[in-house]
Amino acid sequence: MTRPRVISQGHTSPVPDAWWVKALQRAALAVYPGLILFGIVRPALAGRILWTVSIAALPLFFVLAGYHRWRRICPLAFFSQIPMLLGRAGQRRAGPWLHAHGYRLAFGVFLVSLWLRLVATNGDGYAIALFLTAIAIAAFVTGLFFTGKTWCNYICPVYFVEKLYTEPRGLRDTPNSLCHPCTACRPSCPDINEESSYWKEILLPDKRYVFYAFPGVVLAFYFYYFVQAGSWDYYFGGRWTHEVGLVRTAFLPGATGATAGVYFWPAIPRAAAAAITLAVGAVLSLAVFSFIEGRVAWVLKQREAGADATTVRHVTFSLAAFTAFIAFYSYAGAPTLRLVSAAPHFFQLLVITTATLFLARRIARRQRDFSEETLARTIIAKWPWADSPPPRDLHEAFLIHSIRSKTRGEDTRVHVLHLYKDAVRESVNSGAVSHTEVREFESVRNDLRITEADHERVLSELVEEDRALAAQGRAKPSAEKQLQLDGYARALAALLDASVSAGRGVDDAIIQRLQNEYAVTVEEHRQVLDSLVQRREGVAAYILDTPRAIEELAATIRAIEPAQSPVTAFLSRLLKRRWTRTVDMFLHALSSGEPKTALWRESLLSSDPSRRQAAIRDVGARLSPATATRINAAVERASGQTDMDPHAALQLQLRSADPFIRATAMYVLQSHGGAAAADRELLAHDDHPVVREVLEQERHATDDRGVLEPSTLEKMIALCSVRLFETLEPEDLVRLAQSSQEVWFAQGDTLCHQGDLGDEAFVLLAGEVSFFKRAGHDERLVGVEGVGTCIGELSVLDPAPRASTVIVSSVAARALRISGQALRDAREASPAVADGIIRLLVRRLRGDTMPAGAAAAEQPQSR
């Protein structure tokens, strides 16, 4: 028996193909609209170009290039995927009716297309342009309403032709045409593994009817040219390729040879005669191949003991494909080939050689061969030696494995059994191999030197695992469904991991869009999350750490709240932001779309630890019992972190994912002399500049007056105390802080003059300033303000003369000077600044209508 070998069609992930495939795809996308334009410009020549050149070459291309390569090149497949490329892919799935009757539907569309050729589109460029446009629109509309390759797998008129000429495998092994993302639009998807799909569908009644009827339809189509004209010269001479306007007489009784439906009965309309001829050809072909199927069964039973229905159907399909191919190329392309001397003979030689090679490769193939190859391929894919490539031959693989493992004795046998069990599990789960077939793979077991007892024990363990899954309500998904869920799991994990790394939550709309893209349900989303958590990889580890993270944040806020200061207020705000994002991330991951999400969010942000822990348990209960148990254990571990002293709480936040929390926590520790050498070492190589600056400066840099230069963090804290900037995110604050400069003023210095145009604002860090308004020749004091006051911001943001004169009234004053451009950039970058400006204007208007004293008390934030 031939040793099982690796073939590329076993891949279950997108694999790059030859460079020319992409080039041909681009060419096909250019040719298709080109044919439409050519049909309009040269209507009398379009039929010859399309039918005797382009379409005539397709079946030969299917066989020589392979099924998967045509699936990548086909322009109609591309048109059906345009909605997905535009983000408007359909969400409907092909239902049971399409699954059951997809072959008949595609065959029906094919028959209608052939009939249209005979009555309209054969030699009329205008009709050809209309037909090509209509079928392209149909593909696009299908993609707009249905998910995945619904058009290609159920409706396209050449779908079953591709399969008939290339199944179960082509002349060459090629990478598959798997979609990305896979939406599991079809059971037994041929784009994942064409041969696996073939053996699963081979006994479908619809497939039998279509494959057996097709050769007769091909012969009937070409025979109609003789029936209509009374001679073969009408077809081979190519007169039918330039019959513009034929459709105008196709539905009327014929009168002449040009308008006759049948040459010996001209009165029959061409449309009726063509339809009857195609129907008769289909029925006769079905009857002939049904008879042949019976004869094949008799012959195989004589030659092969126990030949089953699958083998009989496979051999008959092979004969039907060979017959249809030879019949098609006895006529296809002939009107054009005959224009070149000797071309028909060379072409027929190519056709017969190709058909014979394909028949020889196909007819001897058995489902058992494919199943053994699948199992062997899975075993070799788990090749354990990284320093040498896996051999293609299973027996050779075992010998190398045994020699290199011989020092381990019994461990080698255990390893081989584990390898065999994993391979059987994956092969059975993929649907390519059944438990019954595995029992018959004696040659594979011999190569691996697995005893019958070991083999039976492996199968028993797998059956028990299946029963355990069924008891948990987790039946094994199909290969297509598993591929879809695996793709969704990778995309979801990448999205959530990126969000965790960036320290931000994920919008529900983004997760919903991802679910739509992969066509997964809410329940499937929950199952995927459950599997991620069970593996504790990436975001799964984050989910299980969420209870601890929430309790640590809550404990830190409680610990620092008694120390009332701008710094602790700033840190508390950062911690609450982190808390909110952690909760949102947790809920987006585990409860997207749940009606109780808002209630859970409120509970998880509550100051009551019992409410938080109950909410986490409630969310976890939506997943599997195993995952719920792990989340409950995480809650129990986190419940002990309710009280924490300020020093320990701050040290804990030095490991926060938020760099501003790390920087502020270190700043507070340094300010109180509580930063240990280990704390400094922890942040010594931090990648965020604000954190590094806090470590490096240690308040040792001074300006020309010998006073301390504030760090970026200190400027951020000062800006955050100003009402205009209090709602800014730290990412916006840091840009504003970096564009500001510290300035000092002596008593009596003027910061700005009423009526002047200015392009800078000031935030008072220390000291007091007085505001004066000029009325005629007199100036009157309208207010005195201290630390936290913002001066001149409205004149910068809405260019106008200064509304008042501002003079330093204390011994000295220290302020941050912010350029007008930096303020305007902040306004454009953050809606919060724009909202703050509106609030200031409202207060200004309210202040102008109040008594002087009240106005002075109300409006001091800005002048």
Q: Is residue 745 within 8 Å of 791, Cβ to Cβ?
A: no
Q: What is the pLDDT of residue 776?
A: 75
Please give the helix or strand (H or E) that residue 498 lies within, else none. helix 479-502
Amino acid at 27: A
Amino acid at 102: G
Section 166-193 average pLDDT: 82
Rounded to whole angstroms, the Cα distance separating 661 from 578 reads: 9
pLDDT digits (tens, 9 = 90+) for 596-637: 888 888 888 888 888 888 888 888 777 767 677 777 777 777
Q: What is the pLDDT of residue 724?
A: 72
Section 653-664 average pLDDT: 87
Please give the helix or strand (H or E) that residue 9 lies within, else none. none
CA angle 617, 572, 508 (to 5 degrees): 45
Q: How far apart are the first and last CA of the chain?
A: 94
Q: Is residue 778 within 8 Å of 772, Cβ to Cβ?
A: no
Rounded to whole angstroms, the Cα distance separating 536 from 193 reads: 31
Q: What is the pLDDT of residue 506?
A: 60
Rounded to whole angstroms, the Cα distance separating 728 from 705 reads: 32
Is 76 a residue whose pLDDT tops 70? yes
- Which pLDDT band, with edges at 50, 70 and 90, does 863 fall under? very low
Full 3-state SS string of 152-206: HHHHCCCHHHHHHHHCCCCCCCCCCCCCCCCCCCCCCCCCCCHHHHHHHHCCCHH
Kindly list the distances between the CA atom of residue 356 and the CA atoms of 163, 211, 346, 363, in Å, as whole numbers in the listed order. Answer: 17, 19, 15, 10
Q: Return the SS3 of 543.
A: helix
Express as a percent the part of the chain with pLDDT over 70: 77
Section 552-580 average pLDDT: 87
Section 367-394 average pLDDT: 66
- Which pLDDT band, with edges at 50, 70 and 90, does 674 fall under? confident
Between residues 522 and 7, the one the model is more confident about: 522
Express as a percent the part of the chain with pLDDT over 90: 30
- Which pLDDT band, with edges at 50, 70 and 90, does 195 fall under? confident
Q: Is residue 660 within 8 Å of 573, Cβ to Cβ?
A: no
Q: Is residue 462 within 8 Å of 433, Cβ to Cβ?
A: no
Q: What is the pLDDT of residue 548?
A: 83
Rounded to whole angstroms, the Cα distance separating 260 from 248 reads: 13
Is 504 a residue whose pLDDT tops 90? no
831 cis-preceded (ω within 30 degrees of 0) = no
Q: Is residue 139 within 8 Å of 90, Cβ to Cβ?
A: no
| DSSP strand pairing (740-746 vs 812-819) | antiparallel
Q: Pick the closest to residue 271 from 280, 262, 281 (CA basis).
A: 262
* Helix/strand/coil percent split, the chain, to 5: 65, 5, 30
CA angle 551, 553, 554 (to 5 degrees): 65
- Which pLDDT band, with edges at 50, 70 and 90, does 503 fall under? low
Q: Pick the closest to residue 823 from 802, 791, 795, 797 (CA basis).
A: 797
- State the average pLDDT for the chain: 80
Is 753 a residue whose pLDDT tops 80? yes
pLDDT digits (tens, 9 = 90+) for 123-155: 999 999 999 999 999 999 999 999 888 999 999
Section 208-222 average pLDDT: 97
Supply the DSSP symbol for 762: E
Rounded to whole angstroms, the Cα distance separating 769 from 786 reads: 6
Q: What is the pLDDT of residue 321?
A: 96
Section 458-482 average pLDDT: 62
Supply the DSSP symbol for 53: I
Q: Is residue 840 within 8 Å of 823, Cβ to Cβ?
A: no
Q: Return the SS3 of 100.
A: helix
User: Looking at the DSSP assignment, which residues form a beta bridge with residue 762?
Assistant: 791, 817
Q: What is the pLDDT of residue 120?
A: 95
Rounded to whole angstroms, the Cα distance separating 364 from 526 reads: 45
In the chain, count of helices (H) and strands (E)?
41, 8
Phi and psi for 419 in degrees, rounded to 5?
-60, -45
Q: Is residue 337 within 8 Å of 343, Cβ to Cβ?
A: yes
User: Looking at the DSSP assignment, which residues form a beta bridge with residue 745?
Assistant: 813
Query: Could you tell me the domains of the chain?
Result: 20-175+204-363 (no CATH), 367-471 (no CATH), 480-644 (no CATH), 726-858 (2.60.120.10)
Is 860 a residue whose pLDDT tops 60? no
Section 493-516 average pLDDT: 67
Q: Is residue 332 within 8 Å of 226, Cβ to Cβ?
A: no
Supply the DSSP symbol for 640: T
Amino acid at 781: L
- Which pLDDT band, with edges at 50, 70 and 90, does 497 fall under? low
Q: What is the pLDDT of residue 3?
A: 39
609 cis-preceded (ω within 30 degrees of 0) = no
Between residues 641 and 807, the one the model is more confident about: 807
pLDDT digits (tens, 9 = 90+) for 698-732: 645 444 444 556 888 888 888 887 777 777 788 88
Supply the DSSP symbol for 770: E
Is 736 a residue whose pLDDT tops 80? yes
Rounded to whole angstroms, the Cα distance separating 614 from 214 reads: 64
Please give the helix or strand (H or E) that residue 367 lies within, else none. helix 367-381
Helical residues (DSSP H) of 639-772, grouped into ranges: 646-653, 659-671, 677-682, 689-697, 712-720, 730-738
- Which pLDDT band, with edges at 50, 70 and 90, does 839 fall under? low
Residue with tokens 């090509």: 132
Phi and psi for 136 in degrees, rounded to 5?
-65, -40
Q: What is the pLDDT of residue 528?
A: 76
Ranked by mean pLDDT, the top range of 405-414, 522-531, 804-813 is 804-813
CA angle 709, 713, 715 (to 5 degrees): 60
Is 859 a residue whose pLDDT tops 80? no
Residue 519 CA to its chain's centroid (Å): 10
Supply the DSSP symbol for 240: G
Q: In residues, how long is the chain?
A: 863
What's the Rg (C-alpha) of the chain?
39
Q: Which residues contact 667 (CB under 8 A, 6 or more apart)?
A: 567, 694, 711, 713, 714
- Which pLDDT band, with edges at 50, 70 and 90, does 308 fall under? confident
Q: What is the pLDDT of residue 411?
A: 56
Q: What is the pLDDT of residue 164?
A: 94
Angle between helices 96-116 and 125-145 (to 10 degrees): 170
Kindly list the distances between the CA atom of residue 714 and the CA atoms of 565, 590, 690, in Å, as whole numbers in the listed order. Answer: 13, 38, 10
- Which pLDDT band, with edges at 50, 70 and 90, does 441 fall under? low
Kindly list the distances between the CA atom of residue 240 and the CA atoms of 59, 123, 166, 236, 261, in Å, as whole numbers in the listed order. Answer: 22, 6, 30, 9, 14
- Which pLDDT band, with edges at 50, 70 and 90, does 160 fall under? very high
> What string of DSSP letters covers 576-597?
HHHHHHHHHHHHHHH-TT-TTH
Is 547 a residue whose pLDDT tops 90? no
Rounded to whole angstroms, the Cα distance separating 494 from 518 reads: 14
Amino acid at 474: R
- Specify the range with the lowest mean pLDDT, choosing from 56-60, 300-304, 358-362, 524-528: 524-528
Q: What is the pLDDT of residue 407?
A: 42
Is 312 a residue whose pLDDT tops 80? yes
Q: Is residue 367 within 8 Å of 315, Cβ to Cβ?
A: no
Section 55-68 average pLDDT: 92
- Which pLDDT band, with edges at 50, 70 and 90, does 2 fall under? very low
